[in-house]
Amino acid sequence: MPPQPNSTDAQFEEWGKTWDEWTKENSHLPNLQPASVIIENFKKRASQVPPGGAPTPQSGQQFPVNDTKINTLEAKVTALEVKIDKIMSHFGVK
């Protein structure tokens, strides 16, 4: 199992040994990074998360939404639905 944010250095080291063994056995797979690089990147990302984790909406609260993006997406979906309907009717599908 990959390390968790609250893992100890010993747990990271244990996981790293397991990962390095696995990468040797699967060396035919491209771009496998050594455990040290993965652990370093993981710790770097974990240190950037604010205490308590990423923000989540409270009950009934929503994150701000960009109405322009939603309207644009809705327009694209509508246009795709129209095209699909035309294609389906061309093939006699109702």
Structure tokens that stand for 13 in this block: 């080291």
Tell me if the pTM is above 0.85: no
Check residues 50 and 42 and name the one with the higher pLDDT. 42
Q: What is the pLDDT of residue 21?
A: 92
Closest CA to 73 of 81, 61, 84, 62: 81
